[in-house]
């Protein structure tokens, strides 16, 4: 599926309009800006690219909590004391029984089929937000309402009405099918809004760019989402969506459009590349195939085929830069972003795999 810039801009403006209505209704600003001396402006300029200040990719997140309106108020309500973060889009996992769901149920059918659950624009896409550490000036920030591996702490099935998913020994909250559809379509919209200039390498999960983060976690198929953004297949022909349960809500207005995917079964747990030991004769630098396989498992765009040397160097450098997260507590773990997979970087990759329970 492709859109013209004009079509993408029309959809973007429609999303902005309904988002403004929702944010205003729940008492929020429509941007993460200070207004009349209240709040703090939490935006930044995008880095120039090809003569324009614009985003190059998308960084996907989860909220690590269960709140819907509370999450949006934290983002854009000046009274909640948030001086540290902001993001561009909030995607809910269901049609909530709140004013948010009430307003969303009234949008036109074409927009609802693209975004079957509330997909709220929190900030103008013409500037960056404070969501992704060193990538804030390069990526859009998309927050998914999902508790991640805090699923049990946040109330589990009793609170969320969703059976857990267990991957690599972790009990996780699953994303819903409608939510994943919105994730793909917001990516497609972001791509065509800048005339098909989105860079696949910059479509990442937060866990890739900051080494103490775990979102979006391994219930979220970042490689499938990235691929779906750039292919032309209609959303109802993307078969991996069958891995995700339908949203546990009472609003079934568009369910019949996506339920037929149940006919296909997809095992998300089996999608990860197996760990491969470095070659015994590797001196100073690890075997490229091993490095690529591990970075792919973390979520980087380096597989499943072995990338060229330039792309490998870039992804190694990005991983190394993510270890800046350790500066305060473990400065000895911070790696120099030189793009070389030497012994310290191999140790860093191994440490990260263990943190994420991939080893």
Q: DSSP characters for 209-274?
A: H-TT---S-TTS-HHHHHHHHHS---GGG-GGGGGSPPPSSS--TTHHHHGGGGGS---GGG-SPP
Q: Choose among 137, 133, 117: nearest CA to 255.
A: 117
Q: What CA–CA distance (Å, rounded) separates 208 from 219?
A: 15
Element (H, E) at 203: strand 203-205
**C-alpha 226: how far from chain center:** 10
pLDDT surpassing 90 at residue 303: no
Residues 121 and 53 both lie in one domain: yes
Average the pLDDT over 283-289 and give the result: 70
Q: Choose among 264, 259, 255, 263: nearest CA to 116.
A: 255
Residues 166 and 263 both lie in one domain: yes
Residues 164 and 312 both lie in one domain: no
Q: Return the DSSP state at 40.
A: -
Assign 3-class secondary structure to 104-135. HCCCCHHHHHHCCCCEEECCCCCCEECCCHHH
| pTM exceeds 0.85 for this model | yes
The pLDDT, as a whole number, for residue 217 is 93
Residues 109 and 169 both lie in one domain: yes
Report the Cα–Cα distance between both ends of the chain, in Å, rounded. 38
pLDDT in tens, 113-135: 999 999 999 999 999 999 999 99
CATH code, 118: 3.40.80.10
Q: Return the minimum-mean-pLDDT range out of 24-28, 60-64, 268-272.
A: 268-272
Q: How confident is the model at residue 274 (pLDDT cuts 50, 70, 90)?
A: very low
Strands 128-129 and 119-121: unpaired
Q: What CA–CA distance (Å, rounded) separates 179 from 146?
A: 10
Residues 91 and 115 both lie in one domain: yes
**C-alpha 120: how far from chain center:** 14
pLDDT in tens, 85-118: 999 999 999 999 999 999 999 999 999 999 999 9
Domain range for 261: 5-269
Residues 250 and 278 both lie in one domain: no
The pLDDT, as a whole number, for residue 262 is 66
Final residue belonging to a domain, choices 269, 304, 319: 269
Structure-block tokens of residue 17:
């309009």
Q: How many structural domains are present in the chain?
A: 2
pLDDT in tens, 321-355: 999 999 999 999 999 999 999 999 999 999 999 99
Residues, the chain:
359
Residues 264 and 277 both lie in one domain: no
What average pLDDT does the chain have? 90
Residues 224 and 289 both lie in one domain: no
Q: What percent of the chain has pLDDT over 90?
A: 79
The pLDDT, as a whole number, for residue 266 is 41
Residues 159 and 93 both lie in one domain: yes
Residues 249 and 282 both lie in one domain: no
pLDDT surpassing 80 at residue 151: yes
pLDDT in tens, 192-236: 999 999 999 999 999 999 999 999 998 999 999 999 999 989 998
The pLDDT, as a whole number, for residue 47 is 95
Residues 59 and 89 both lie in one domain: yes
């Amino acid at each position: 599926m492709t859109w013209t810039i004009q079509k993408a801009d029309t959809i973007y403006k429609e999303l902005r309009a309904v988002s403004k209505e929702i944010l205003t209704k729940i008492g929020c600003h429509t941007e993460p800006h200070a207004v009349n001396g209240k709040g703090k402006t939490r935006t930044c300029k995008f880095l120039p690219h090809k003569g324009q200040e614009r985003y190059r990719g998308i960084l996907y997140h989860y909220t690590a909590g269960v709140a819907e309106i509370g999450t949006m108020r934290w983002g854009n309500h000046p009274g909640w004391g948030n001086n540290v973060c902001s993001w561009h889009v909030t995607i809910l996992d269901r049609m909530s029984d709140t004013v948010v769901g009430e307003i969303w149920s009234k949008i036109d059918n074409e927009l609802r089929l693209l975004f079957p659950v509330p997909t709220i624009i929190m900030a103008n896409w013409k500037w960056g937000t404070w969501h992704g550490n060193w990538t804030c000036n390069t990526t859009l920030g998309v927050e998914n309402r999902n508790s991640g591996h805090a699923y049990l702490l946040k109330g589990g099935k009793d609170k969320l009405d969703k059976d857990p998913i267990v991957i690599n020994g972790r009990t996780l909250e699953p994303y819903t099918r409608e939510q994943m559809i919105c994730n793909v379509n917001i990516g497609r919209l972001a791509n065509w809004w800048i005339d098909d200039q989105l860079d696949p390498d910059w479509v990442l999960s937060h866990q890739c760019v900051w080494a103490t983060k775990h979102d979006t976690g391994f219930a979220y198929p970042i490689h499938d989402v990235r691929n779906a953004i750039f292919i032309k297949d209609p959303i109802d022909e993307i078969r991996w969506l069958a891995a995700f349960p339908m949203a546990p809500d009472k609003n079934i207005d568009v369910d019949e459009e996506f339920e037929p995917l149940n006919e296909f079964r997809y095992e998300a747990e089996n999608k990860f590349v197996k760990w491969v030991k470095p070659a015994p004769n590797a001196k100073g630098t690890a075997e490229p195939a091993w490095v690529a396989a591990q970075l792919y498992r973390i979520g980087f765009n380096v597989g499943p085929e072995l990338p060229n040397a330039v792309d490998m160097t870039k992804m190694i450098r990005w991983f190394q830069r993510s270890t800046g997260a350790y500066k305060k507590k473990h400065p000895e773990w911070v790696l120099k972003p030189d793009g070389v997979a030497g012994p310290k970087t191999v140790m860093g990759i191994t440490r990260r795999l263990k943190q994420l329970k991939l080893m």
